[in-house]
Amino acid sequence: MLTDTPESVTLVPIDRIEVLNSRDRNMKVFEEIVENIRVIGLKKPITVTERKGADGAPAFVLVCGEGRLNAFRLLGETHIPALIVNVSDEDAFIMSLAENIARRGHRPLEILADIELLLAREFSVDDIVQKTGLSQKYVRDIIFLLNKGEERLIAAVQNGDIPLTTALEIARAKDGDEDLGDMLQEAYETGQLRGHQVTEAKRLLEKRKSQAFKSAGARSKLPASAHSLVKVYQKEVARQHKMVLKAEHAHQQLLLVVQGLKALFADSNFVNLLRAEGLDTLPKYLAERLEFA
């Protein structure tokens, strides 16, 4: 079961290890950890810090390696190779969070919970950035969501029902307009708007709201429900699509005109005729198009 380990690594009794920051594990990933340890042994020891137990005997607090520790337990082992470090409970907690964040590759729903724990311990934004290695913007975004007390949004993120980026857009909308934020959230939760559509709908409604202050008649056109918001968004998307089609049609027509003019100006007789009539100049835009066509 055990592989060669460095001299600084010690075999520690598993039943003397306390886990301060326990995490639910992806069962498929955990099963792979168990199988790898069963077949090839433990390649990386866990990290613990020593404490005096209630019975006076040495005890340990886990810093890093809960998955490996649980795998050893499942495999019936009584001891596990561990690197013993001398750190405080606070530092052990931070080191555990940092390893979790690195291992998960920044999975938002769990990092949100980690940052909430750090805030509860009165860590500042700069402290959290320094301890976790996350960007300051990312940390500030999550703290914004937590500070707003958006329990439904936070629960939705934690359950994987809504991406963190979308939750932030909705929370920011609520910060300026509670009704708009609620409509966006309902539209997302009911599947009427997805992903980037939430951001686009938010921008559209904020633009219309600013226009409403300038025109009393525009105020009546503001949506009053998630359903009407989606209708406004869909109508705007259709309008923009129609504009794109018109622009593409106009572009094709212009290409035909340019090609026709190019053929005519290649005819010296036609050019001489234009000069005789004083019509041998073109608007700058067309002249440039003919030059590069």
Summarised one tens digit per residue, pLDDT across range 57-69 is 889 989 888 889 9
Q: Of the residues 57, 75, 105, which one is the last residue of a structural domain? A: 105
CATH code at position 80? 3.90.1530.10
Which of 55, 58, 74, 73 has its CA nearest to residue 16? 58
Separation between Cα atoms, residue 163 and residue 117, nearest integer Å: 20
Q: Kindly state whether residue 213 falls inside one of the protein's structural domains.
A: no
Query: What's the pLDDT tens digit per position in 206-225?
Result: 676 666 555 555 444 666 66
Q: How confident is the model at residue 4 (pLDDT cuts 50, 70, 90)?
A: very low
Radius of gyration of the chain (CA): 32
C-beta neighbour count of 50 within 10 angstroms: 17
Q: Kindly state whether residue 259 falls inside one of the protein's structural domains.
A: yes
* Alpha helix ranges (H) inside the chain: 27-40, 66-74, 89-104, 108-120, 125-132, 136-147, 151-158, 164-176, 178-189, 196-212, 216-219, 226-265, 268-276, 284-292
Q: Kindly state whether residue 120 falls inside one of the protein's structural domains.
A: no
Q: How confident is the model at residue 176 (pLDDT cuts 50, 70, 90)?
A: low
Model confidence, pTM: 0.48
Domain that holds residue 273: 240-292
Q: Kindly state whether residue 150 falls inside one of the protein's structural domains.
A: no
Q: Of the residues 81, 105, 129, which one is the last residue of a structural domain? A: 105
The count of structural domains within the chain is: 2
Helix axes 164-176, 108-120, angle to 10 degrees: 60
Q: Kindly state whether residue 161 falls inside one of the protein's structural domains.
A: no
Q: Of the residues 77, 105, 133, which one is the last residue of a structural domain? A: 105
